[in-house]
Amino acid sequence: MASVSTQPQFRYTQPPSKVLHLRNLPWECTEEELIELGKPFGKVVNTKCNVGANRNQAFIEFQDLNQAIAMISYYASSSEPAQVRGKTVYLQYSNRQEIVNNKTAADVAGNVLLVTIEGEDARLVSIDVLHLVFSAFGFVHKITTFEKTAGFQALVQFSDEPTATSAKDALDGRSIPRYLLPEHVGPCTLRITYSGHSDLSVKFQSHRSRDYTNPYLPVAQSAMEGSGQAMVGLDGKRLEAESNVLLASIENMQYAVTLDVLHMVFSAFGPIQKIAMFDKNGGLQALIQYPDIQTAVVAKDALEGHCIYDGGFCKLHISYSRHTDLSIKVNNDRSRDYTIPLTPVINVQPSVLGQQPVQNPMMGPPSQQQYNPYPPNSGQGPIPQSLAGWGTPPPPPPQHSMPMQMYNNVYMPPGTMAPPMAPGMPYPSQSTPQPASTMSTYGAGRSQ
């Protein structure tokens, strides 16, 4: 049968439009390149690139029709064709009058992230764990969580878009480190897009929303009880008065827990000011002092019930101490004041530059070598599993205990301690938080 050519597949003369259709573009041509191309002829108000099955078509929308006409007529008579990256591109009026960008809020970069927590036990991820995870990238202003058809979701507000973007790029598709979750909780994967919001409204501090910029925001429900020494959580559990000093007792202490090990474990959450260790009831206890309550709360929530070493050894039980400022009389292997700068001990001589620095003479040999016995089936010293970051073996315990040596360790938040859990995927260097910004993270806690 003879096909009636009522609708020719291509019309060779298009009615003018301020939208131009471009084809034969280099693969994955960028918006910037399109703007460059159209700029000489007028104001490019919108573009859409990577169109079509081959992603080699695009649209340019000018502010005015005559600008589009100018571009078409110029190249119609030009001996040089329009080019992008040396490749000839073909121009024509589009058969549409405007570009419709189906950009949703999820595509527009902003300072607030929409986080979907995937997994059977997603609901069991606490807001504190989310706070900890996202704080690795900068100061988290606010978090709200809610239940939607998409599942358990959270909005996480950063100061600015670049910070949010660095968090999104680093965390999207990743799973929350196991050690931050209760043992029975299955894997929880984060799916992250941008939110349309720029400032979340948080009325109360509660188990579902937090405003970290305003620690004095009222706590939701009848959280206060009596004199304020104790509070009742939303689940009805009695809460102790929070403190910047934590009391840690260590159960099932099969291995030596040294000052340095404690320092390493607890400094994942913020700078440590002081540690004092002592024996009580035949067990080891330690007081760990942070500069602020907020950091202590995060550390307590993350570490409570967890074991320093794999296999249920050296299980931590953490409560808030009534102390607010420890009095450290002397720096020794059981107590230390990290706020007092020590005389520099390590001075790398020019002749040994590039070699390992000399070990701090104050310190004995590394704790792992000091301690016996090791488990029968392990020739290695135990490795603190709480620091096992994002599924990767943790760094060895610190060999030096000087404050300046510890500085980087102290301020390095958990998310930066280890490579991501996806093997072989490099951690984007740009998303690695700078110590300064991280300091502000921890520094912005409530003062007491």
List residues binding DNA (CB under 7 A): 10-12, 14, 19, 21, 23-24, 48, 51-52, 54, 56-57, 59, 90, 92-96, 98-102
* Nearest residue (CB) to DNA, 85 versus 96: 96
* Nearest residue (CB) to DNA, 22 versus 127: 22
Least Cβ distance, residue 146 to DNA (angstroms): 25
List the beta bridge partners of residue 313. Answer: 309
- What lies within 8 Å, CB to CB, of 330 at 6+ separation is none
List the beta bridge partners of residue 336. Answer: 275
* Nearest residue (CB) to DNA, 57 versus 289: 57
Using alpha carbons, select from 195, 4, 11, 190 the residue that is nearest to residue 95.
Answer: 11
Q: Which of helix, strand or coil describes residue 149?
A: coil
Question: Whole-angstrom Cα distance, residue 110 to residue 158?
Answer: 9
* Nearest residue (CB) to DNA, 92 versus 331: 92
CB contact at 8 A, 40 and 49: no
CB contact at 8 A, 415 and 390: yes
* Nearest residue (CB) to DNA, 99 versus 124: 99
Place of tokens 């029968």: 376
- Burial group, residue 428, by CB count within 10 angstroms (0-12, 13-18, 19+): exposed
- The angle formed by the CA atoms of residues 309, 339 and 287, to the nearest 5 degrees, is 40
List the beta bridge partners of residue 249. Answer: 285, 317
* Integer CA distances (angstroms), 332 to 146, 155, 329, in order: 48, 45, 9
* Nearest residue (CB) to DNA, 68 versus 176: 68
Least Cβ distance, residue 167 to DNA (angstroms): 25
SS3 percent helix, strand, coil of the chain, rounded to 5, is 25, 25, 50
* Nearest residue (CB) to DNA, 57 versus 145: 57
- The angle formed by the CA atoms of residues 434, 435 and 438, to the nearest 5 degrees, is 90
* Nearest residue (CB) to DNA, 52 versus 151: 52
Least Cβ distance, residue 85 to DNA (angstroms): 13
Least Cβ distance, residue 95 to DNA (angstroms): 4
DSSP 67-82: HHHHHHHHHHH-SSPP
Least Cβ distance, residue 45 to DNA (angstroms): 12
Least Cβ distance, residue 288 to DNA (angstroms): 50
Least Cβ distance, residue 11 to DNA (angstroms): 6
List the alpha helices (DSSP H) in 271-418.
293-303, 367-370, 403-411
Least Cβ distance, residue 286 to DNA (angstroms): 54
Least Cβ distance, residue 410 to DNA (angstroms): 46
* Nearest residue (CB) to DNA, 94 versus 206: 94
Q: Which of helix, strand or coil describes residue 308?
A: strand
